[in-house]
Structure 1
């Protein structure tokens, strides 16, 4: 067996729970890679809600979806993921976050622990039993350690009967390697 790298493992996790026709959330659209991946997974009758606070991220994601002819399967929302419950009212099977900043853009615009936790709480209410929230945690930037610590503290407090929480990381890599936190919902609140 070969150890999976972080991003391929995140995609494998999502693939394991998303079925055609599902609704899902990309909480950090960024350059649109995850939104496109999710749009392919949900099929013609599924839907992806993709959030980002930055206009350039929404535009990059829209272009990627247009090129793949998958824009009709998505709703792009220029707003913070902490407001997910204002836009998504149906059950979702999965959500993904890439925490940190938009690669190649203003590194002052970053995700923050409080808003990410608020989004996780809202998504846990929307998540179907057996569904997953996948957080890819990039923490090598200004404020990244604080966000990482806040999120770890939050997920460690989730009751085991309600959710299972997994951390997947490489311990001997240099320069703050990203890692994954996965939350699997086990029962309703």
Structure 2
């Protein structure tokens, strides 16, 4: 059975993340990816998770506490465009995940934007380790979503193939704008 974009994103991350790695959840949302990443990096790794919404930080902190994974996770109540200044420049990142769009079951007017996403990608790429991956799951069926999808597609298509491999994964026969997954791997 084909995996959903969400499940495939986790498969792509599991393939490269090991205990002790440093990783980023660029859009922590309800904390599902943050907890997943914390399990993968273990007690010697670090997770840096970002979100502009206070409720996302609260939900994530609770989820991490409930499963005893709060240690080695730093929650930032700020947008992913601040990755460049929030994470020490000498820290190498093994993987990052973005779920672009809005926080499910919350204010649908608070969305990720092409500008902030580009800033985050620009900050992450130079810090990405060899064989490291950035996974972007783009939900685009809302106002502003198409512009962000275009930014991600254009950004990924212009990455030099000598340095990066880029994969896209999507279901093309589903209704209601199913998410599109992009995976950038540094060679």
TM-score between the two structures when normalised by the length of structure 2: 0.97
- The C-alpha deviation readout for 1:63-98, integer Å capped at 9, x for no partner, is 000111111120000111011011212001000000
Cα distance in 2 for residues equivalent to 1:119 and 1:103 = 21
Instruction: For residue 6 of structure 1, report the CA deviation from its aligned partner.
Output: 1.2
Cα distance in 2 for residues equivalent to 1:47 and 1:153 = 30
- The C-alpha deviation readout for 1:13-41, integer Å capped at 9, x for no partner, is 00000000000000000000000000000
Aligned to 1:5: 4
Instruction: For residue 103 of structure 1, report the CA deviation from its aligned partner.
Output: 0.3
Aligned to 1:117: 118
Determine helix, strand or coil for the equivalent of 1:104. Answer: coil
Cα distance in 2 for residues equivalent to 1:54 and 1:24 = 20
Instruction: For residue 4 of structure 1, report the CA deviation from its aligned partner.
Output: 1.8
TM-score between the two structures when normalised by the length of structure 1: 0.96
Aligned to 2:55: 56
Q: Number of matched residues?
A: 185
Aligned to 1:176: 177
Q: Give unmatched runs, 5+ long, in structure 1.
A: none
Determine helix, strand or coil for the equivalent of 2:106. Answer: coil
Cα distance in 2 for residues equivalent to 1:154 and 1:6 = 19
Aligned to 2:27: 28
Q: Give unmatched runs, 5+ long, in structure 2.
A: none
Cα distance in 1 for residues equivalent to 2:98 and 2:184 = 12
Instruction: For residue 162 of structure 1, report the CA deviation from its aligned partner.
Output: 1.4
Cα distance in 2 for residues equivalent to 1:37 and 1:153 = 29
Aligned to 2:157: 156
Cα distance in 2 for residues equivalent to 1:17 and 1:38 = 11
Determine helix, strand or coil for the equivalent of 1:139. Answer: coil
Instruction: For residue 135 of structure 1, report the CA deviation from its aligned partner.
Output: 0.2
Alignment RMSD: 0.7
Instruction: For residue 155 of structure 1, report the CA deviation from its aligned partner.
Output: 1.1
Determine helix, strand or coil for the equivalent of 1:111. Answer: coil
Aligned to 1:91: 92
Determine helix, strand or coil for the equivalent of 1:44. Answer: helix
Whether 1:102 and 2:107 are equivalent positions in the alignment is no
Aligned to 1:65: 64
Instruction: For residue 3 of structure 1, report the CA deviation from its aligned partner.
Output: 1.9
- The C-alpha deviation readout for 1:117-146, integer Å capped at 9, x for no partner, is 110111001110110000001000111011
